[in-house]
Amino acid sequence: MRKDGVLQAEVEILVPFFDVDSMDVVWHGHYVKYLEVARCALLDRIGHNYVQMRDAGYAWPIIDLQLRYVRGARFGQRLSVRADLVEWENRLKINYLITDAETGERMTRGSTVQVAVEIATREMLLASPTVFVEAVERALA
The tens-digit pLDDT sequence of the chain (141 residues) is 467 789 999 999 999 999 999 889 999 999 999 999 999 999 999 999 999 999 999 999 999 999 999 999 999 999 999 999 999 999 999 999 999 999 999 999 999 999 999 999 999 999 999 999 999 999 999
Dist CA 10 CA 8 (whole Å): 7
Are 20 and 26 a contacting pair, CB within 8 Å?
Answer: yes
Dist CA 123 CA 46 (whole Å): 24
Q: Is 100 left (phi over 0), alpha (psi -120 to 50) or beta?
A: beta
Q: Map out the domains of the chain as residue ranges.
A: 7-140
Dist CA 10 CA 97 (whole Å): 9
| Class of the CATH-defined domain 7-140 | alpha beta
Q: Which SS3 state, helix, strand or coil, does residue 83 take?
A: strand
The pTM for the full model equals 0.94
